């Protein structure tokens, strides 16, 4: 079974590949959009076009595994509908947020854009109506990441500190562009959804290899 890492842009798809490589798993990157801004525009204004682009990029594969290494993509389209037309296995980040809804009563979420933040909040509150969510969305920060701007780490640490002051139990990095950043003086749980997704993929592969 071949593994493909689907990201919003080349940046996060390659980041997912790099993480899998660290676990001695070979994979190939598939980027859906050219820039974070382009992806945000399609998510907000033309979801059907986004689904068609995804289908056109994935339909040539057969019986492979797709890891959707992008929070925005995980919540932007109906992956169940896409999977009916592509004979492959899909694993996306909604499974990670199901765990968060069960384990926390108050969290802070940093998303790439407003539409993704809204969808994440809607998903979490549907699963756990009593959950309290502190939301941040910062597309310019995602663009800074792709430019390797040194200011990103300071902004992330400031947001973490604000989340602590507002009483959050966890700070969720709701964009995989932030997966490789570390934090100073952590007194709050930092959630890296992409890394949890990788753990889920490793478990899936192990269970399937045992069945064969």
Question: What CATH architecture does domain 95-193 belong to?
Answer: 3-Layer(aba) Sandwich (3.40)
Three-class secondary structure of residue 152 per DSSP:
helix
How far is 15 from 61, CA to CA, in rounded Å?
21
Of 90, 102, 113, 104, the closest CA to residue 43 belongs to 113
- 13-17, 143-147, 179-183: which range is least confident on average? 179-183
Q: What is the mean pLDDT of residues 180-204?
A: 92
Q: Which range is least confidently modeled, 30-44, 109-123, 159-173?
A: 30-44
Residue whose token pair is 């995804």:
54
Phi-psi region of 40 (alpha: psi -120 to 50; beta: other; left: phi over 0): alpha
Distance CA 109, CA 162 (A): 12
Instruction: Give the model's pLDDT for residue 71.
Output: 97
pLDDT of residue 210: 65
- Residue 82's pLDDT is 87
Q: Is 212 exposed, middle or buried (0-12, 13-18, 19+ CB in 10 A)?
A: exposed
Kindly tell me the burial class for residue 24, based on how many C-beta atoms sit within 10 Å of its own C-beta (0-12, 13-18, 19 or more).
Answer: exposed
pLDDT band at 141 (very low <50, low <70, confident <90, very high): very high
Contact by Cβ (8 Å): 152, 141:
yes
Do the domains 95-193 and 3-93+195-211 match in fold? yes
Domain residue limits, the chain: 3-93+195-211, 95-193
Q: Is this structure's pTM higher than 0.85? A: yes
pLDDT single digits (tens) 53-72: 999 999 888 878 999 999 99
May I ask the CATH architecture of the domain 3-93+195-211? Answer: 3-Layer(aba) Sandwich (3.40)
pLDDT band at 212 (very low <50, low <70, confident <90, very high): low
Alpha helices (H) in the chain, listed in sequence order: 10-22, 36-45, 47-58, 71-76, 79-83, 94-103, 114-127, 139-146, 152-165, 193-211
8-17, 49-58, 99-108, 163-172, range with the lowest pLDDT: 49-58
What mean pLDDT value characterizes the chain? 93
Q: Is it the case that residue 43 has pLDDT exceeding 90? A: no
């Amino acid at each position: 079974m071949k593994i493909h890492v689907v990201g919003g842009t080349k940046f996060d798809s390659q980041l997912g590949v790099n993480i899998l490589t660290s676990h001695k798993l070979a994979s190939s990157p598939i980027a859906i959009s050219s820039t974070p801004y382009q992806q945000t525009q399609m998510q907000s204004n033309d979801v059907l076009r986004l689904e068609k682009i995804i289908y056109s990029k994935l339909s040539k594969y057969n019986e492979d595994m797709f890891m959707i290494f992008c929070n925005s993509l995980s919540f932007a389209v109906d992956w169940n509908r896409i999977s009916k037309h592509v004979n492959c296995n899909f694993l996306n980040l909604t499974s990670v947020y199901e765990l968060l809804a069960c384990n926390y009563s108050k969290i802070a979420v940093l998303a790439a854009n407003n539409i993704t933040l809204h969808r994440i909040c809607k998903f979490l509150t549907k699963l756990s109506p009593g959950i309290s969510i502190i939301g941040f969305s910062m597309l310019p920060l995602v663009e800074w990441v792709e430019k390797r701007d040194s200011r990103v780490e300071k902004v992330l640490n400031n947001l973490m500190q604000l989340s602590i002051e507002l009483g959050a139990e966890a700070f969720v990095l709701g964009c995989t562009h932030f997966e490789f950043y570390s934090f100073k003086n952590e007194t709050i749980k930092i959630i890296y959804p992409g890394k949890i997704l990788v753990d889920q993929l490793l478990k899936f592969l192990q269970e399937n290899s045992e069945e064969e």
